[in-house]
Structure 1
Amino acid sequence: MAAIDGTIAGGARPAAGMLTARLSALMFMQFFVWGAGAVTLGLVMQTVGIGDLIANAFSVGPIASIVGSFLLGMAATRFLSPKMLMVILHLVGGVLLFILPGFINPEGGSTFVWLLLCYMILYMPTVGLANTIALKSFGERVDRFPFVRAFGTIGWIAAGLIIGWAGLSASPEIFRVAAVVSLALGFYSLTLPNVEADAPSDGSLVRQVLCVEAFGLLRQRSFLIFVTCATLISIPLAMYYAYASPYVGAAGIENVGGTLAIGQMSELVFMFSMPLLYRRFGVKPLLLVGMAAWALRYALFAIGDGGSGLWAVYLGVALHGICYDFFFVAGAIYTQTIAAPKGVNAQAQGMLTLFTYGVGMLLGSQIGGLLYAQLPATPTIADWQGMWVAPAVAAAVIALIFQFSFRDDSREGVRG
Structure 2
Amino acid sequence: MQFFVWAAWLITIANYWFGTKQWDGADFGVIFSTMGISSLFMPTITGIIADKWINAEKLYAILHILYAATMFYLPQVDNPHTFFWVILVAMCFYMPTIALSNSISYTTLKNGNFDVVKNFPPIRVWGTVGFIAAMWITNLTGSKASANQFYIAGVSALFLGIYSFTLPACKPQNLISEKKTFAQKLGLESFKLFADYKMALFFIFSMFLGAALQLTNAYGDVFLDEFKLFPVFAESFVIKYSTIILSISQISETLFILAIPFFLKRFGIKWVIAIAMFAWVLRFGLFAFGDPSANLWMIITSCIVYGMAFDFFNISGSLFVETSTTPKIRSSAQGLFMMMTNGFGAVFGSLISGWMISKYFTTYYTNIGSLSKYVNSEADNAHLLNFLKNKGITVLQNGDLSRALDVKDWHNIWLAFTIYVLVIAIVFVVIFKHKHTRAEVEAINHL
User: What interval of TM-score do these two structures reach, taking the shorter chain for normalisation?
Assistant: 0.7 to 0.9
- The residue that corresponds to 1:244 in the other structure is 220
3-state SS of paired residue (1:342): coil
Aligned residue among 15, 30, 35 for 2:2? 30
Distance 2:196 2:327 in 1: 13
Report the aligned-residue RMSD: 3.0
Distance 2:162 2:325 in 1: 30
- The residue that corresponds to 1:4 in the other structure is none
Q: 1:282 to 1:389 in 2, by over 3 A?
A: same
Superimposed CA distance per residue, residues 117-136 of structure 1 (whole angstroms, 9 cap, x where no aligned partner) = 10101111222333444467
- The residue that corresponds to 1:159 in the other structure is 134
Q: Do the aligned residues in 2 keep the contact of 1:268 with 1:321 (CA within 8 Å)?
A: yes
Distance 2:124 2:199 in 1: 22
**1:30: how far off?**
1.5
Distance 2:266 2:162 in 1: 39
Superimposed CA distance per residue, residues 193-247 of structure 1 (whole angstroms, 9 cap, x where no aligned partner) = 7387685473444233432344345556554433222211012222111111111
Distance 2:118 2:267 in 1: 13
Distance 2:251 2:194 in 1: 34
Q: 1:76 to 1:413 in 2, by over 3 A?
A: farther
Aligned residue among 358, 363, 381 for 1:376? 363
Aligned residue among 99, 104, 111 for 1:128? 99
3-state SS of paired residue (2:224): helix
Distance 1:246 1:222 in 2: 38
**1:37: how far off?**
1.8
**1:167: how far off?**
0.9
Q: State which drifts further: 272-281 or 246-255.
A: 272-281
- The residue that corresponds to 1:411 in the other structure is 440
- The residue that corresponds to 1:401 in the other structure is 427
- The residue that corresponds to 2:86 in the other structure is 115
Letter of the 1:32 partner, please give it: F
Q: Do the aligned residues in 2 keep the contact of 1:101 with 1:175 (CA within 8 Å)?
A: yes
Q: Does 1:254 align with 2:229?
A: no
- The residue that corresponds to 1:350 in the other structure is 335
Superimposed CA distance per residue, residues 52-97 of structure 1 (whole angstroms, 9 cap, x where no aligned partner) = 3321212212111123244335x44553554443223212212211
- The residue that corresponds to 1:283 in the other structure is 269
Superimposed CA distance per residue, residues 338-390 of structure 1 (whole angstroms, 9 cap, x where no aligned partner) = 66822753x44433332111111111111111222131245557x11101122
Distance 1:197 1:217 in 2: 27
Q: Do the aligned residues in 2 keep the contact of 1:160 with 1:258 (CA within 8 Å)?
A: yes
Letter of the 1:88 partner, please give it: I
- The residue that corresponds to 1:310 in the other structure is 296
Distance 1:181 1:305 in 2: 34
- The residue that corresponds to 2:122 in the other structure is 147
Distance 1:396 1:208 in 2: 37
Aligned residue among 5, 12, 23 for 1:50? 23
Normalization by structure 1: what TM-score? 0.81
Distance 2:7 2:173 in 1: 28
Superimposed CA distance per residue, residues 259-314 of structure 1 (whole angstroms, 9 cap, x where no aligned partner) = 21111111122234445555665533432221111111111122123443332223
Q: 1:79 to 1:284 in 2, by over 3 A?
A: farther
Structure 2 residue ranges without an equivalent (≥5): 229-238, 365-404
3-state SS of paired residue (1:33): helix
- The residue that corresponds to 1:5 in the other structure is none
Larger radius of gyration: 2
**1:163: how far off?**
0.8
3-state SS of paired residue (1:376): strand
Distance 2:105 2:197 in 1: 27
Distance 2:274 2:44 in 1: 29
Letter of the 1:50 partner, please give it: W
Aligned residue among 375, 386, 394 for 2:412? 386
Aligned residue among 46, 61, 72 for 1:72? 46
Q: Does 1:270 align with 2:256?
A: yes
Q: Do the aligned residues in 2 keep the contact of 1:250 with 1:379 (CA within 8 Å)?
A: no
Q: 1:31 to 1:333 in 2, by over 3 A?
A: farther
Letter of the 1:109 partner, please give it: P
3-state SS of paired residue (1:251): helix
**1:168: how far off?**
0.8
Distance 2:422 2:93 in 1: 33
- The residue that corresponds to 1:24 in the other structure is none
Distance 2:207 2:126 in 1: 25
- The residue that corresponds to 2:159 in the other structure is 184
Distance 2:319 2:65 in 1: 28
3-state SS of paired residue (1:353): helix
Letter of the 1:388 partner, please give it: W
Q: Do the aligned residues in 2 keep the contact of 1:251 with 1:310 (CA within 8 Å)?
A: no
Distance 1:42 1:200 in 2: 45
Q: 1:182 to 1:286 in 2, by over 3 A?
A: farther
- The residue that corresponds to 1:292 in the other structure is 278
How many residues of Structure 1 are paired with residues of Structure 2 in the alignment? 382
Q: 1:343 to 1:372 in 2, by over 3 A?
A: closer
Distance 1:304 1:323 in 2: 18
Distance 1:63 1:233 in 2: 17
Q: 1:261 to 1:395 in 2, by over 3 A?
A: same
Distance 1:289 1:152 in 2: 25
3-state SS of paired residue (1:388): helix
Letter of the 2:220 partner, please give it: A
Q: State which drifts further: 324-333 or 275-284.
A: 275-284
Q: Do the aligned residues in 2 keep the contact of 1:286 with 1:327 (CA within 8 Å)?
A: yes
**1:332: how far off?**
3.9
Q: State which drifts further: 392-401 or 271-280.
A: 271-280
Q: 1:313 to 1:371 in 2, by over 3 A?
A: farther
Structure 1 residue ranges without an equivalent (≥5): 1-28
Q: State which drifts further: 272-281 or 289-298.
A: 272-281
